[in-house]
Structure 1
Amino acid sequence: MKLSGDLRDFEARIGHAFADPALLVRAVTHASMSSANRDDNQRLEFLGDRVLGLVMAEALLALDPKATEGQLAPRFNALVRKETCADVAREVDLGKVLKLGRSEMISGGRRKQALLGDGIEAVIAAVYLDGGFEAAKRLVLRLWGDRTQAVDEDARDAKTALQEWAQARKLPPPAYVEVSRSGPDHAPVFTIAAQLENGAEAQATAPSKRRAEQAAAASLLAELEKS
């Protein structure tokens, strides 16, 4: 199988030339384009998620030999979560080479966080199957770059930190309320309010509910720390 020019360029961007090009084609094929004669990338995404996890676990252990499991877990989660995977996918312009069905194309699939995150995990699996674990490890460490070293010592996400703040003061968990939603269906914008029972509240706006909730929690935490 010969790769298209776009896929050859993508190989160069990720730094891996495939011995079996069909693996790369499968890795960038979304379920909306699958058929009896064309496999999609869902099974590869499942495998790639596990390969990414192992690489990151090894890297974090090597970087901080004295860290406890409680310290390592939030750092690990920050590095493998879907938002991080999607950011990496954007950096190598994975969206440009994704093979999508018409409905996904129309709805802006090349920019969707879930599709990009799943896609980069599928690419990791394809490299693993093509070149083995060491090749996949080199790919992940190259693409994640300084993220592994720059991840915060306390990498708890803002929602977790806010919940722990509330629990320490014997308050119920924070509530997250959708204040508004705007924009087209393929590119919605959410405004979310993070609220505590004591009346404290902060709002944030982002292209996904999860990101808006995290941003609202971070904003509320910052306000609480000032008081």
Structure 2
Amino acid sequence: MAVPVDEAGISETNVYKERNGAKSMDETRRTTINDFLAQLGLPPGDPSNFHRALTHSSYAYEAGTADNERLEFLGDAVVGLAIGAALFQMYPNVNEGALAKMRASIISATSLGAQAARLGFGQYLLLGKSEAQSGGRERQSILADAFEAFVGAVYLTYGWDTAHHWLIDQFQTALQEASKGQGDFKTELQEILQSRGKGVPEYRLLRQTGPDHDRQFTVGAYVTGSLSGTGMGKSKKKAGQEAAKAVLGKLGEDS
């Protein structure tokens, strides 16, 4: 994939080099970044974008160079699309609201910061003196921003396919475990109804059958006073969850 070119015909990489001249990157830094790319399973490439991705604003201010914030903006979009598309394909029966929660959890600042720390981003960051002395290399927000900027650099350097595959590799476990904790249908239903101005659902026990050791409960979920779904279970709690799930299914059909 070609690096985007602006109206003046200057690529993102060349703008960076022109702004920073000889100070942009020495051979030691170039070698260090190439080694880091190899460590992360990425092919050799022009390290200029990665040098910028690992340049924090505190260092940029002191050195009079460009920081990683524009690449962070780009990487945020790439991460969101890659993870969103993966969830869409992996969980065909999960509704939009649950998918959004799963994606938000996977790409939260906490999650991205943890990924960056696991991959050793901290030691490659360029930080201002004060930021470095105050523990910036381990700071979650800085690591999360650097991770997004790095992804932006991967996209610019290698294109969508490489960026997408690399991200999926990093988040494979998180993607596979994303559905855990998504079974609280009552909470999900309440959030959706409140967002639509329909208040809080009410749950009523409609009937219970069977002997004491094998009771079966039927619970109804009422929305704005009307019975909107029913559920059955071995406990009132389970039956209530099933009733909420039934209402969510109807809402999905109507949307």
TM-score, length-scaled by structure 1? 0.65
Instruction: Provide the aligned length of Structure 1 versus Structure 2.
Output: 165
- Residue pair 1:18, 1:130 contacting (<8 A) in 2 also: no
Q: Which has the larger radius of gyration?
A: 2
In structure 2, distance between residues paired with 1:155 and 1:20: 42
Aligned to 1:62: 89
Does 1:139 find its partner at 2:173? no
* Unaligned segments of structure 1, at least 5 residues: 171-227
| Counterpart residue identity of residue 34, structure 1 | A
| Partner of residue 59 from structure 2, selected from 33, 44, 49 | 33
Give 3-state SS (helix, strand or coil) of 2:179's partner: coil
| Partner of residue 97 from structure 1, selected from 124, 137, 151 | 124
Give 1:47-196 correspondences, 5 Å limit. Answer: 47-155=74-182
User: Which one is further off, 31-40 or 105-114?
Assistant: 31-40
| Counterpart residue identity of residue 59, structure 1 | A
* Unaligned segments of structure 2, at least 5 residues: 1-24, 192-198, 203-255
Q: Deviations over 1:79-109 (max 9, x none)?
A: 1100000110011100010000001011100
Distance 1:48 1:3, change over 3 A: farther
Q: CA deviation at 1:152?
A: 3.2
- Residue pair 2:34, 2:45 contacting (<8 A) in 1 also: no
- Residue pair 2:87, 2:175 contacting (<8 A) in 1 also: yes
- Residue pair 1:27, 1:122 contacting (<8 A) in 2 also: yes
In structure 1, distance between residues paired with 2:120 and 2:32: 10
In structure 1, distance between residues paired with 2:41 and 2:67: 23
Q: CA deviation at 1:169?
A: 9.8
Aligned to 1:14: 40
- Residue pair 1:18, 1:127 contacting (<8 A) in 2 also: no
Q: For the aligned residues, what is the CA RMSD? A: 2.6
In structure 1, distance between residues paired with 2:44 and 2:64: 21
| Counterpart residue identity of residue 24, structure 1 | F
Q: CA deviation at 1:58?
A: 0.5
TM-score, length-scaled by structure 2? 0.59
User: Which one is further off, 136-145 or 113-122?
Assistant: 136-145
| Counterpart residue identity of residue 63, structure 1 | M
- Residue pair 1:78, 1:155 contacting (<8 A) in 2 also: no
- Residue pair 1:71, 1:154 contacting (<8 A) in 2 also: no
